[in-house]
Homo-oligomer: A and B are copies of this chain.
Amino acid sequence: MRLLDISLTVSPQMPTYKGKKEMKPVIEKTRSLEEGANESRFIFPSHTGTHIDAPRHMIDQGKTIDQIPLDRFWGPAVVIEILGRPAIDRDALLPFSSFILKDHYLILKTDNSLTNLSREDFVYLTESGAQFLKEKEIRGLGMDSIGIERNQPDHPSHRTLLASGIVIVEGLYLTHVLPGMYLFFAFPLKIEGGDGSPARALLLTW
């Protein structure tokens, strides 16, 4: 058995949603070894880096991150690679239909992985793509973009998945990951009332 790390390193240099500066984390040293111990403080936006969206992110009265049952955050997963497309719609997903399984995670590797998730015009999931995944009743979607969509008024891709209880994991680092079957884990922090949480995302292979 082998663990693959598919998480972004948390640092002030990390890519953020559309490159926004206010979404960068801040790491401050608060104490040194001379004072007794090295300690620090993180200032961390809830939708930066490798993170999970709670339904509350986009849905009024939706579940917060601490209200989601733990077992939603892991499960069997398939990694599929779709290159050369600016957006992932139903047509892009259809050829992989037999690999997109009920109650499994789908991990989407796109052209975003060629540029370290730094593109502002990143590859995203369209509303028809989200609708297809809802019909497939997947457990969760993980993607190699800081957000799963951009420039779609009212965020229909987020809303379609979150309203169906499908977990959204954003900011996955997949450059070194081959398509195939894995076991996926990404347990968020138990943040009271959280609209999202950073998580360490992993794939187990054997």
Are B10 and A192 closer than 8 Å at their CB atoms?
Answer: yes
Taken together, the copies of this chain in the complex come to 2
Contact with A192, one of B9, B33, B36, B155 (Cβ below 8 angstroms): B9
A39 to B46, CA, bound (A): 6
Q: A41-B45, A47-B39 are in contact. Are A189 and B195 (CB under 8 A)?
A: no
Judge whether A178 is part of the interface by a CB distance below 8 angstroms.
no
Q: A189-B198, A202-B187 are in contact. Are A30 and B45 (CB under 8 A)?
A: yes
Report, as a range, how many residues of chain A touch the other chain: 35 or more
Q: Which residues of B contact A11 (CB under 8 A)?
A: 191-193
Residues of A within 8 A of B (CB): 3, 5, 7-11, 27, 30, 33, 36-47, 49, 56-58, 60, 66, 70-71, 155, 158, 185, 187-196, 198-200, 202
